[in-house]
């Protein structure tokens, strides 16, 4: 077995200094990721439809963090890597409106298309197969990666939580892009980015969030995944 074959999830590029844009950064998931990446020393630009709301969300994360707010188009064009954390409802339309700004960039989709009823959460059908594949279909000029689906917004935002013990599954067909996003996940203490397959296998990773919600209810937990033997 050669060196090249025995790839580990620790042999990854240096992502220090990359600026991160977060579309939908005014929501809990986006805001939580913004906070953690800022704590890790990244410049973060929270995007929203209205610059004012984005600025308020950035300020709400606390003083002294390198986070600012801007319109989605500004966040998309000024960041090196852009995370899509918008509600599923507005997913397609938001991405369609940002095609030009996102061209050539690594776009990280973390959206989970879920429905809720009295029995709990369940995955919604997606014409393209998954939110990530929908992003790929819309953003033909971008490098789409899927990641950060199972990260608890509550823990991300909790000042008492220093480390988040979980593996972030990173999916995509562009090896350089998935490596970079794995490295980004590793910037948050406790997290590890693990390659999780091609984009065509993103649906079940998104949908599995429904199972984590069931697990959280049953065990009063904030459950995450670890991959064993890796």
Kindly tell me which of 64 and 125 has the beta carbon lying closer to its own copies: 125
Which residues would be at the binding site for its own copies (CB under 8 A)? 1, 5-9, 119-123, 165-166, 169, 171, 194-198, 200-201, 203-205, 207-208, 210-211, 213-215, 218-230
CA distance 166 to 158: 16
Kindly tell me which of 1 and 63 has the beta carbon lying closer to its own copies: 1
**Smallest distance, its own copies to C-beta of residue 214, A:** 4
**Smallest distance, its own copies to C-beta of residue 141, A:** 23
**Smallest distance, its own copies to C-beta of residue 28, A:** 18
Kindly tell me which of 33 and 166 has the beta carbon lying closer to its own copies: 166
Which is it for the CA torsion 156, 158, 159, 160, positive or negative? negative
Q: Among 139, 213, 142, 145, which residue's Cα sits nearest to residue 183?
A: 145
Q: Among 197, 179, 22, which residue's Cα sits nearest to residue 110?
A: 22
Which is it for the CA torsion 228, 115, 20, 173, positive or negative? positive
Kindly tell me which of 52 and 163 has the beta carbon lying closer to its own copies: 163
**Smallest distance, its own copies to C-beta of residue 133, A:** 12
* Cross-strand pairs, 191: 166
Kindly tell me which of 36 and 42 has the beta carbon lying closer to its own copies: 36
In the three-class reduction of DSSP (H, G, I as helix; E, B as strand; rest coil), residue 180 is classed as helix
**Smallest distance, its own copies to C-beta of residue 222, A:** 5
Q: At what angle do helices 28-39 and 51-60 cross, to 10 degrees?
A: 60
């Amino acid at each position: 077995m050669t060196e090249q074959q025995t790839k580990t999830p620790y042999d990854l590029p240096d992502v220090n200094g990359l600026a991160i844009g977060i579309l939908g950064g005014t929501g809990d998931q986006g805001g939580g990721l913004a906070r953690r990446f800022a704590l890790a020393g990244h410049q973060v630009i929270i995007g929203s439809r209205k610059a004012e709301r984005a600025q308020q969300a950035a300020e709400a994360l606390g003083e002294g963090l390198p986070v600012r707010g801007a319109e989605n188009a500004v966040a998309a064009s000024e960041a090196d890597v852009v995370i899509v954390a918008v509600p599923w409802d507005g997913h397609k339309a938001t991405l369609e409106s940002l095609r030009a700004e996102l061209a050539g960039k690594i776009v990280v989709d973390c959206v989970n298309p879920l429905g809720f009823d009295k029995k709990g959460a369940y995955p919604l059908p997606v014409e393209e197969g998954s939110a990530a594949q929908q992003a790929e279909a819309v953003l033909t000029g971008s490098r789409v990666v899927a990641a950060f689906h199972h990260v608890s917004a509550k823990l991300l935002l909790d000042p008492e939580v220093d480390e988040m013990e979980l593996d972030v599954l990173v999916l995509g067909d562009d090896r350089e892009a998935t490596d970079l996003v794995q490295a980004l996940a590793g910037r948050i203490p406790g997290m590890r980015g693990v390659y999780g397959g091609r984009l065509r296998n993103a649906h079940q990773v998104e949908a599995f969030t429904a199972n984590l919600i069931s697990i959280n209810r049953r065990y009063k937990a904030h459950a995450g995944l670890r991959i064993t033997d890796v």
